[in-house]
Amino acid sequence: MTMDPRLRKAILDAVRGKDSPWPVDKHYPLSGTFQERFKGGDDQILLWAIALAAEDAERPRVRRVRPLRYVLRQAKPYWP
């Protein structure tokens, strides 16, 4: 299944904090750096930082990967 490029752009713009029709979680503001947003409690922003780096053809920085490892180690399994 392929995603409509307009939808993809709307989602990525929303994550980057740009104007977008895509709804975002109101618990976590879109202002600040990814690091500030992570420290503010937005654990998903780590995955977005890595996804956006891939989208922009960048290599994920160590500072993005280390917190992700920490979060994954602290996570409770979804399955019983």
- HSE-up of 8 (CA within 13 Å, CB side)? 8
Tokens of 2: 């392929």
Contact yes or no for 42/33 (Cβ under 8 A)? no
The pLDDT tens digits of the residues spanning 24-74 come to: 777 877 778 888 888 888 888 878 887 787 777 766 566 666 776 676 677
How many separate domains does the chain show? 1
Q: Read off the pTM.
A: 0.57
In tens, the pLDDT along 1-16 reads: 687 889 888 888 888 8
80 lies in a domain?
A: no
Look at residue 78 in the predicted model and tell me its pLDDT. 59
Q: How many angstroms separate the CA atoms of 8 and 20, rounded?
A: 11
Task: Classify residue 41 as exposed, middle or buried by CB count within 10 Å of its CB (0-12, 13-18, 19+).
Answer: exposed
- Which domain does 22 fall in, by range? 5-74
Q: Is residue 37 part of a domain?
A: yes
Q: Is residue 38 domain-resident?
A: yes
Q: Provide the residue type at 25 as one letter.
A: D
